[in-house]
Amino acid sequence: MKPFHETSTKLPDPLKDLNGGPIGHFNRSVIKIALSISACYPQTEIQKCIIHQIRNSIRYVSYKDVKKVTADLKPIYKAATEEAAQLEMDRFEETWGEKYPLIVRSWRQNWDELTTFFKYPPELRKLIYTTNMIESYHRQLRIVTKGKSIFPTDESLLKMLYLSTMDVLRK
């Protein structure tokens, strides 16, 4: 794969088939960012947020099936190993694949990026498979920096972010 450059106006070749699919502009941007990072840092491991994948999946589900589908997805990401998760994915496909093929296709297409967290100890997995904690932290930093349009020095910005981080950790 050719390295992807930020200034490029075209999507990299692997993304061409996604243009007509059920994937949003936001997701294409995330894919472009992931490709950019991987081009610069080839050993990078990408983990997509499981919570966002579930939310995306239930968009295709009838209201009466939402609880059942989410309950059947849970054993996939709560599995002890990637192999066990694969078995749970197969079970999910047997149960729901005919009724909701887009869900199965989405999970299968994103499998490598959805299962990266299995390489880490169970204590770290929840921190890795969901970005909610990270998003909350970023929101706190944006609140602090939003009111200031410029900082006198880079050091003053770093001090502000450090103090904000300490404040977040106290909460």
With beta carbons less than 8 A apart as the criterion, state whether 118 and 111 touch. Answer: no
Instruction: Name which of 91-100, 133-142, 152-161 the model is least confident about.
Output: 133-142
With beta carbons less than 8 A apart as the criterion, state whether 54 and 73 touch. Answer: yes
Domain of 114 in residue numbering reads as 50-122
User: What is the per-residue pLDDT for 18?
Assistant: 41
Residue 108 makes CB contacts below 8 A (sequence gap 6+) with 89
User: What is the per-residue pLDDT for 58?
Assistant: 93
Residues 91 and 30 placed together within one structural domain of the fold: no
Residues 57 and 24 placed together within one structural domain of the fold: no
Most confident segment among 27-31, 55-59, 92-96, 154-158: 92-96
Consecutive H or E run containing 69? helix 66-78
With beta carbons less than 8 A apart as the criterion, state whether 125 and 60 touch. Answer: no
Angle at 131 between CA 127 and CA 135, to 5 degrees: 120
- How many domains does the chain contain in total? 3
Residues 145 and 81 placed together within one structural domain of the fold: no
The answer to whether position 13 is within a domain reads: yes
DSSP 4: P
